[in-house]
């Protein structure tokens, strides 16, 4: 954890013209990340892969249908689960719960548009506690998810419509699941990383990081590069809104390290993803770097979409500007 604190401290002094006035905000949630990093698993949960829960969300229910990962085949008996429909598998990040805003926001976006089997990997039983310990256990956790998904694929789930999405550590988790599936003959069509976790993964000191070889198309949204999120291109198409680093527009310039406010830029990735599910104003252009983009030297590059509408032919680094509050998409103003 000492390495992480050093990295985060830099965020207190970095500034940009788009961020809010310097202040040290606090709320009842401010120290949640710190507390959970020192806490055992949520009550009633055990830190073993067999206690991972797959939660199926649908418009037909006010709460998800939940299954222990070993019983995932029971999903096939649910009337609202259609093996021919596209399936999204979402994995939350370190010390997060499915009741947190991050998961609730993503779930809400998908339920609004409909047409998906939406599965959330609830691995909060393993995600709590020491960061290094959790990271070391992540490959086995991802493999357990891969085993579960292979059971569904063997029983008719459409591989063509499978999309793995993960935030922070969850991005690496779904990459391990994809690698397990690939070793068994199932190549995942698309995998998305939302600000993949940086410390311990780049370079892969604690555990391997996600890579373009994990799926047919791998896209990544970077919003806190060099702090909690990786500063490295790690997909076929890497998107760098506002340069992809802290502080993102709307995030306060001065924060107490490791507080909820300090994660503002890191959390922006799932907010942008959720907005992309329901809207189409997050446009980007390929460019050499953000400074070149800001100078307008990439105006001849075609417009592309950040988020769910990104197409599998995209390759390279893409840039855009966003607003400081929802809706974040600026349309053409964000790329001109």
Q: Identify the three-state secondary structure at position 312.
A: coil
Q: Taking each helix axis from N to C terminus, what angle separates 101-113 and 264-278, rounded to the nearest 10 degrees?
A: 10
The answer to whether residue 100 is catalytic is: no
Write the CA distances from 213 to 188, 216, 232, 307, 318, integer angstroms. 10, 7, 15, 19, 19
Q: Distance between CA atoms of 90 and 103, rounded to whole angstroms?
A: 8
Write the CA distances from 119 to 61, 108, 127, 186, 220, integer angstroms. 14, 13, 18, 18, 20
Contact (CB, 8 A) for 322 and 328? yes
Q: Distance between CA atoms of 229 and 4, rounded to whole angstroms?
A: 11
Say which of 30, 168, 175, 265 is annotated catalytic: 168
Among residues 239, 266, 261, which one has the least CA distance to residue 321? Answer: 239
How far does CA 327 lie from the centroid of its chain? 19
Q: Distance between CA atoms of 326 and 323, rounded to whole angstroms?
A: 7
Q: Distance between CA atoms of 97 and 90, rounded to whole angstroms?
A: 12
Q: Could you tell me the sign of the dihedral formed by the alpha carbons of 178, 182, 183, 185, in that order? A: positive
The answer to whether residue 168 is catalytic is: yes
- Residue 61 CB coordination number (10 Å): 11
Beta strands in 135-247 (DSSP E): 162-167, 190-194, 217-221, 237-241
The answer to whether residue 266 is catalytic is: yes
Q: Which single residue is written with the structure tokens 């990340």?
A: 33
Say which of 195, 224, 238, 262 is annotated catalytic: 195
Q: Which single residue is written with the structure tokens 């070889």?
A: 213
Say which of 214, 222, 266, 269 is annotated catalytic: 266
Write the CA distances from 227 to 84, 114, 180, 253, integer angstroms. 40, 34, 29, 14
Tell me the catalytic residues: 168, 195, 266
């Amino acid at each position: 954890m000492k390495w992480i604190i050093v990295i985060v401290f830099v965020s207190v002094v970095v500034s940009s013209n788009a961020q809010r006035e310097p202040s040290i905000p606090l709320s009842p949630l401010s120290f949640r990340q710190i507390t959970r990093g020192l806490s055992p698993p949520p009550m009633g949960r055990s830190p073993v892969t067999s206690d991972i829960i797959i939660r199926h969300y649908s418009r037909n229910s006010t709460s998800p249908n939940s299954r222990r990962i070993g019983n995932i085949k029971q999903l096939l008996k649910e009337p609202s689960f259609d093996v021919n429909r596209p399936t999204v598998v979402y994995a939350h990040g370190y010390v997060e719960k499915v009741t947190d805003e991050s998961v609730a926001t993503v779930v809400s976006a998908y339920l609004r548009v409909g047409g998906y089997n939406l599965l959330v990997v609830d691995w909060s039983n393993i995600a709590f506690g020491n960061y290094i310990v959790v990271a070391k256990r992540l490959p086995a956790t991802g493999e357990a998810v891969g085993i579960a998904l292979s059971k569904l694929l063997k029983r008719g789930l459409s591989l063509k419509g499978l999309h793995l999405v993960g935030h922070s550590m969850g991005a690496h988790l779904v990459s391990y699941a994809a690698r397990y599936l690939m070793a068994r003959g199932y190549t995942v069509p698309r995998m998305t990383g939302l600000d993949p976790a940086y410390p311990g993964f780049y370079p892969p000191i604690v555990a391997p990081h996600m890579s373009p070889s994990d799926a047919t198309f791998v896209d990544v949204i970077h919003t806190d590069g060099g702090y909690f999120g990786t500063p490295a291109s790690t997909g076929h198409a890497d998107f760098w809104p506002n340069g992809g680093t802290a502080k993102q527009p709307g995030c306060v310039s001065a924060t107490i390290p490791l507080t909820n406010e300090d994660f503002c830029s890191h959390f922006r990735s799932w907010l942008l993803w959720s907005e992309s599910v329901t809207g189409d104003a997050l446009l980007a252009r390929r460019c050499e770097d953000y400074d070149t983009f800001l100078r307008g030297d990439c105006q001849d590059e075609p417009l592309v979409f950040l988020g769910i509408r990104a197409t599998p032919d995209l390759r390279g680094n893409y840039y855009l500007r966003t607003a400081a509050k929802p809706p974040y998409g600026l349309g053409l103003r964000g790329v001109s």
